[in-house]
Amino acid sequence: FKEGKNVGSVLCRLIPIEQRNRSAAQIVDAIRGKVEAIPQIDKVSVKGGSAVATAMGGNKDPIEIIVSG
């Protein structure tokens, strides 16, 4: 019996930029640090929306977290 790897995915849509005190990039960095600290996780990919949209004062793209292990 051979076990395959499991993959989980989480998608987070942020509240509007004017209602929060951190950028999407800052939130992505915070999430990445916390998820990478979980010892049972083999690989993690945390992606935010486009940097251009963030720089323009908002970002309509969600944050995507993909965890495998």
Over residues 9-20, the pLDDT tens digits come to 777 788 888 898
Position 62 scores a pLDDT of: 59
* Domain presence at residue 1: no
Report how far residue 18's alpha carbon sits from residue 12's, in angstroms, rounded to the nearest whole number. Answer: 17
The verdict on residue 18 lying in a domain is yes
In a domain, 2, yes or no: no
Q: So what's the pLDDT on residue 25?
A: 82
**Cα–Cα distance between 68 and 6 in angstroms, integer?**
6
Boundaries of domain holding 13:
7-68
Query: CB count, 10 Å around CB of 46?
Result: 21
**Any domain includes 42:** yes
Segments of the chain with pLDDT less than 70:
1-5, 49-69
Task: Specify the pLDDT at position 1.
Answer: 33
Mean pLDDT of the chain: 71
Cα–Cα dist 12/43, whole Å: 19
Q: Give me the number of domains the chain comprises.
A: 1
